[in-house]
Amino acid sequence: MAPMAVLKDATAIVGIGQTPFAKQLPETERALACRAILAALDDAGIAPDEVDALASYTMEETDEVEVAKALGLGGLTFFSKVGYGGGGSCATVAHLAAAIASGQATVGVAWRSRKRGSGPRPWKNTTVQLPTPAQWTRPFGLLRPADEIAMLTRRHMHEYGTTRDHLFNVALACRNRANQNPAAIMYDRPLTREMYMTSRWISEPLCLFDNCLETDGALACVLVSAERARDCRRTPVYVHSAAQGLPAQHHGMVNYWNDDPLTGPAWTAARHLWKHADLTPDDIDVAQIYDAFTALIPLSLEGYGFCARGEGGAFTEGGALEIGGRLPLNTSGGGLSEAYVHGFNLITEGVRQLRGTSTAQVPGAAACLVTAGEGVPTSALLLRN
Amino acid sequence: MLTPVVDADGTPFWEYAARGELRVQTCADCGEPRFPPRPCCPHCRSFDHEWRPLSGRGRIWSYVLPHPPLLPDYAEQAPYNVILVELADAPRIRLVGNLVSEAGARLDSVPADRIRIGARVQAVFTPEGLPQWVLERP
Ligand SMILES: [Zn+2]
């Protein structure tokens, strides 16, 4: 008998908030964090002094102490930070869900504030190198995340016939949704196949439009118990299932040194996610899949079981990722076309879909998969209303 | 150009490379090679290891062609290749490197249309002790 899933539907997201998104915002990351969190608490109708749990990313520069003292939060009894950049997005909510379901806290806030557009760029820095595994990659000119993911992309193309048109399908779906979302950076910038196919390379086989935006902005969400959520003013969006994923012998984004580099952390997270869910991939109405690079979508579609191994490219054909398609994707525009804030905007858009308030609403959406970055140690959420 | 920022576990790899030898950390008890180097064998949990010499032969598993924005020394050679080599002696170990026309040559010294997945390559070393790869049949 499987262990009882104590997390299933035990907690709900009842508030979301965000700042504007832009290439450059004047305020500090700390101020942006405070604004997003206050907006989320206001959305939930919960006073800041009721917050007793916080969760964010290890890469988040504003720490719990700063947030708690600036916003006048109550005494905190749970605070947690998750590593591996964009792999941690869904895990921030998962940690709060576990804390609230197990009685360690009652009102949790997860957030991410990031000034990427105006911050330091790894390929401009000639001195700072991370040790392991950078010593095995950077001297050879494998410098950026785009280079690391391009390596897996080329292999996927070679083994399975994935094409640039498949990657374009991903970029186009995200851009089309951004064109419906006034908050998106690319709201008024349509994308054509010709623009995609003639754009400059970043790291062949990935071109400019295969890469996410560079964005300043902050987002937050508020989590409470399911019982309390029923008294909140918004439609509760339940955390149905949650998982993190770090596969055996995984090595971070340069996942080149195990048996099968094309089965990444998504596969590990997915096994746990579905095991504790009443849902299957067929039950998912809309998906928010981490898209720092277009190529992460085919890999994630395979990992989370929407298609078989190697079929992630072909899955994107025939408008499958558009509204009305088999799996509407990243309906606010995602990291490729709304904003790149380490995937937190995918969580808030999942919530809007299940409230019925998305700018690209999937009619009757009742279940949404949200994922964090594939390639790095990752996490995922199944949300339902 | 960036030089390896070495950690304690990786130091022997680079010391052997400086002598023109390609070696990988291998468990002294169960004989399993492992990469990147680490203190303990994930197969048998032994802390005893040796550095096994390899033939230096491998096949290209995948490759990319980076374009700017890049660090200046790399941007100057872009587009160049970065290849991932599956080692003939240890197929699960894939080393990141560059395909070059000869040891010490520029990162763009092999035309991109000469690079293909599956091609056989052989390790060579720069004067600075960095492994590079040349095609077995140029
Ligand atoms: Zn061993």
Rounded Cα–Cα distance for residues A122 and A113 (Å): 19
Give per-residue pLDDT as tens, B49-94. 999 999 999 999 999 999 999 999 999 999 999 999 999 999 889 9
What's the pLDDT at A133?
80
Q: Dihedrals φ, ψ of A331, to 5°?
A: -75, -5
Rounded Cα–Cα distance for residues A351 and A357 (Å): 9
Query: Which chain A residues have a beta carbon less than 8 Å from that of B14?
Result: 135
Cβ of B117 within 8 Å of Cβ of A154? The answer is yes
Strand partners, A238: A12, A384
What superfamily would CATH give domain A3-119+213-384?
A: Thiolase/Chalcone synthase (3.40.47.10)
Rounded Cα–Cα distance for residues A179 and B80 (Å): 36
What's the pLDDT at A3?
56
Output the CA B32–ligand 1 centroid distance in Å. Answer: 6
Strands A108-115, A216-225: pairing is antiparallel
| CATH fold for the domain made of B11-135 | OB fold (Dihydrolipoamide Acetyltransferase, E2P) (2.40.50)
Is the CB of residue B57 less than 8 Å from the CB of residue B89?
yes
Kindly state the percentage of chain B with pLDDT values over 90. Answer: 96
Helices A145-160 and A296-303, packing angle to 10 deg: 60
The residue ranges of DSSP E strands in chain B, in sequence order, are: 23-27, 49-53, 57-66, 82-87, 90-97, 120-125, 131-135
Distance from CA of B71 to the nearest CA of A (A): 5
Enumerate residues with CB within 5 Å of ligand 1 (an ion): B 27, 29-30, 41, 43-44, 46
DSSP A136-163: GTGGGT--SHHHHHHHHHHHHHHHH---
Is the CB of residue B82 less than 8 Å from the CB of residue B94?
no
- Please, which residues have CB within 8 angstroms of residue A308's CB and are 6 or more apart in sequence? A302
Cα-based angle B102, B111, A148 (whole degrees, multiple of 5): 90
What tens-digit pLDDT sequence spans chain A (385 residues)? 455 668 999 999 999 999 999 999 999 999 999 999 999 999 999 999 999 999 999 999 999 999 999 999 999 999 999 999 999 999 999 999 999 999 999 999 999 999 976 655 555 554 454 555 889 999 999 999 999 999 999 999 999 999 999 999 999 999 999 999 999 999 999 999 999 999 999 999 999 999 999 999 999 999 999 999 999 999 999 999 999 999 999 987 778 988 899 999 999 999 999 999 999 999 999 999 999 999 999 999 999 999 999 999 999 999 999 999 999 999 999 999 999 999 999 999 999 999 999 999 999 999 999 999 999 999 999 999 9
Instruction: List, in sequence order, the alpha helices (H) in chain A.
Output: 29-44, 64-71, 89-101, 145-160, 164-178, 193-197, 226-229, 265-275, 296-303, 312-315, 334-337, 344-355
Output the CA B34–ligand 1 centroid distance in Å. Answer: 9
Torsion angle in degrees (nearest 10) through CA of A154, A155, A161, A163: -20
What's the pLDDT at A24?
93
What's the pLDDT at A259?
87
Task: List C-alpha distances in Å: A257 to A136, A253, A357.
Answer: 11, 11, 43
Cis upstream peptide for B79 (omega within 30°):
yes
Rg of chain B (C-alpha set): 16
Q: Give the Cβ contact number of residue A370 at 10 Å.
A: 28
Give the residue from A140, A156, A246 with the most B CB atoms within 10 Å of its CB, the best one to mutate: A140
3-state DSSP call for residue A58?
coil
Distance from CA of A13 to the nearest CA of B (A): 39
Helices A164-178 and A296-303, packing angle to 10 deg: 90
- Please, which residues have CB within 8 angstroms of residue A329's CB and are 6 or more apart in sequence? A170, A173, A174, A177, A286, A287, A288, A289, A297, A321
Output the CA B30–ligand 1 centroid distance in Å. Answer: 4
What's the pLDDT at A4?
62
Domain spans of chain B?
11-135
Alpha carbon of residue A253 to chain centroid: 16
Rounded Cα–Cα distance for residues A108 and A329 (Å): 27
3-state DSSP call for residue B27?
strand
What's the pLDDT at A129?
47
What's the pLDDT at A5?
63
Q: Is B106 on the interface with A (CB under 8 A)?
A: no
3-state DSSP call for residue B68?
coil
Rounded Cα–Cα distance for residues A286 and A331 (Å): 8
Q: Is B12 on the interface with A (CB under 8 A)?
A: no
